[in-house]
């Protein structure tokens, strides 16, 4: 058995005061001041003690508790009722309707500790909703004690293959392969890093991403124009993103890369051939936005011999504009099913990007047919981004993302990657699946609200009498 893959974690505190969810209103004038055991000192989680230390180290005031577990013990046990808990108004301003404040806070916690967030209060969210919330995964094997990949009782692989596989192997009289075997890359995790769609970009920020990609043994997809000298030592883990007209300009970067991405245009065959002429061992990916005809585009590119297709949605996972845009998971189900029906699904690797905000989204995208997901925003949040969008308005970043130290920044990215991988292991273990490759396209291991609603109510509300008769 090969050596078990592991991501080392380390507690990396934030550089700036985080925005906490809960605020404390402490009415000092009502405090008796005579309690020998103040409820603040008796906090079982030592939150007040930790916040006090954090305040002194940061040399600034901390007005809101960052890691409070919301047990309300201090509120209930204060003899003078001098403590009140409120939601921090600044917390409500984080993110947007999709990247909700709770998601950002969860990503911060994982980036700081490398641990899976667990709350004694249990799950208090919605059980259905738009996007990924309309999909439930199978957990039928969760009761089996041996299904525990995190603690090593069972080996569960998260490795994926990236590249084109030949449908049939043929050998000549001398037992040598009679077909050309295209290059194939194995990644120990089912995700690659990508440049976020927004951010206070800088060479330091890119170095933090590249260092993390090298440790994770995955790839960091970055515009070729942004690859500077400080990234040279990570060249095997940086995938230059180029346009067809730029191939000769970035010949040196392409020659040293193991993975190259090409922006889709009308000259794909010629462009891929030009890249292969420079570096025959590089795996070439084509990056293209998703649309309603992506399943046919995927078929055309696969038939043309494309090794990897990187499909992208917007940061909210939506495809196209309008009142009811299609969501990425539904589009990918159609792409995967179409390629399976054509008998060519294993001839291409599919990468999905857009709207993947939580580790459960990564697992759900793989179920919907993706081989790999590309992550940018979650790792940007890992280095303390607040998604205030100041960078898109020409304003100063409140947490100086461009000045992030590459060493600590990369460690926070690694912490988040470890927490996400561990949660993926939990999902795989709960399903009784021992490798993530088997999760791809397993529609039967999930339930989709849209399908359940259609199958339940179509027989009642359908206006087609023949369809009703069939049902």
Domain ranges of the chain: 20-93, 160-451
Once rounded to an integer, what is the mean pLDDT over residues 213-228?
A: 97
Q: Inter-axis angle of helices 359-367 and 406-431, to 10 degrees?
A: 50
Q: Which neighbouring-strand residues pair with 85? A: 24
pLDDT at 66: 58
Distances 79 to 36, 76, 368 between C-alpha atoms, Å: 12, 8, 54
Calpha distance 464→471 (Å, rounded): 11
Homologous superfamily, domain 160-451: Aldolase class I (3.20.20.70)
Mean pLDDT of all residues in 101-113? 93
Residue, of 330 and 29, whose pLDDT is higher: 330
The residue to which tokens 């995955």 are assigned: 218
In this predicted structure, the answer to whether residue 381 has a pLDDT above a threshold of 80 is yes
Of the two residues 89 and 288, the one the predictor is more confident about is 288
- Residue 217 is predicted with a pLDDT of 97
Split at pLDDT 50, 70, 90, the class of 78 is confident
* pLDDT for residue 361: 96
**Helix residue ranges per DSSP H, 132-267:** 203-216, 251-256
65 pLDDT exceeds 70? no
Residue 41 has pLDDT above 80, yes or no: no
Question: CB of 17 within 8 A of CB of 58?
Answer: yes
- Write out the CATH class of domain 20-93: alpha beta
Distance CA 356, CA 102 (A): 15
pLDDT, mean of residues 26-31: 69
User: What percent of the chain is predicted at pLDDT more than 90?
Assistant: 62
**Strand 160-163 and strand 326-327: pairing?**
unpaired
- Plot region of 356 (φ>0 → left; ψ -120 to 50 → alpha; else → beta): beta
State the pLDDT confidence band at 411, using cuts at 50, 70 and 90. Answer: very high
Residue 149 banded pLDDT, cuts 50, 70, 90: low
Two domains, one topology: 20-93 and 160-451: no
C-beta atoms surrounding 108 within 10 Å: 25
Count of alpha carbons within 13 angstroms of residue 78, beta-carbon side = 20
What is the chain's mean pLDDT, rounded? 87
Q: Looking at residue 142, what is its pLDDT?
A: 67
Query: Which of 35-44, 115-124, 225-234, 438-447 shows the lowest per-residue confidence on average (mean pLDDT)?
Result: 115-124
Q: Give me the DSSP letters along 36-85.
A: SS-TTTT-TT-HHHHHHHHHHHHTS---EESS-----HHHHH-TT--EEE
Distances (CA, A) of 72 to 33, 41, 68, 470: 20, 14, 9, 56
- Confidence bin at 60 (pLDDT 50/70/90): very low
How much is the average pLDDT of 99-105?
Answer: 93
């Amino acid at each position: 058995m090969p050596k078990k893959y592991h991501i080392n974690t380390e507690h990396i505190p934030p550089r700036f005061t985080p925005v906490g969810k809960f605020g404390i209103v402490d009415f000092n004038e009502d405090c008796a001041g005579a309690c020998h055991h103040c409820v603040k000192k008796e906090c079982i989680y030592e939150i007040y003690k930790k916040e006090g230390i954090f305040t002194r180290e940061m040399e600034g005031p901390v007005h809101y508790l960052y890691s409070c577990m919301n047990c309300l013990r201090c509120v209930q046990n204060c003899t003078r009722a001098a403590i009140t808990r409120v939601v921090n108004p600044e917390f409500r301003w984080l993110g947007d309707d999709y990247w909700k404040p709770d998601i950002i806070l969860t990503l911060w916690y994982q980036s700081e500790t490398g641990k899976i967030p667990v709350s004694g209060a249990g799950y208090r969210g919605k059980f259905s909703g738009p996007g990924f919330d309309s999909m439930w995964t199978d957990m039928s094997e969760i009761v089996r004690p041996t299904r525990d990949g995190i603690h090593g009782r069972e080996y569960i692989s998260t490795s994926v293959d990236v590249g084109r596989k030949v449908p049939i192997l043929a050998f000549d009289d001398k037992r040598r392969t009679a077909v050309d075997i295209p290059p194939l890359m194995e990644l120990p995790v089912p995700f690659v890093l990508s440049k976020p769609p927004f951010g206070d970009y800088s060479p330091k920020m890119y170095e933090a991403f590249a260092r993390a990609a090298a440790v994770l043994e995955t790839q960091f997809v970055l515009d070729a124009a942004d690859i500077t000298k400080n990234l040279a030592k990570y060249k095997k883990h940086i995938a230059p993103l180029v346009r067809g007209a730029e191939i000769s300009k970035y010949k040196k970067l392409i020659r040293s890369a193991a993975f190259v991405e090409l922006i889709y245009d009308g000259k794909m065959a010629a462009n891929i051939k030009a890249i292969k002429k420079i570096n025959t061992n590089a795996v070439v990916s084509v990056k293209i936005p998703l649309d309603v005809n992506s399943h046919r585009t995927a078929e055309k590119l696969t038939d043309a011999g494309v090794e990897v297709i990187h499909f992208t949605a917007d940061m909210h996972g939506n495809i196209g504009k309008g009142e009811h845009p299609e969501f990425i998971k539904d589009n990918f189900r159609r792409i995967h099913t179409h390629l399976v029906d054509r008998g060519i699904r294993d001839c291409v690797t599919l990468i999905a990007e857009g709207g993947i905000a939580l580790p459960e989204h990564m697992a759900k995208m793989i179920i919907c047919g993706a081989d790999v997901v590309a992550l940018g925003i979650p790792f940007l949040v890992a280095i303390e981004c607040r998604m205030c969008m100041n960078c898109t308005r020409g304003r100063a970043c409140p947490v100086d993302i461009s000045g992030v130290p590459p060493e600590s920044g990369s460690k926070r990215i690694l912490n988040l990657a470890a927490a996400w991988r561990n949660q993926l292991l939990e999902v795989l273990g709960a399903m009784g699946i021992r490798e993530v490759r088997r999760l791809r396209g397993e529609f039967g291991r999930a339930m989709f609200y849209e399908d359940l609603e259609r199958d339940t109510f179509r027989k009642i509300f359908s206006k087609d009498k023949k369809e009703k008769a069939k049902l």
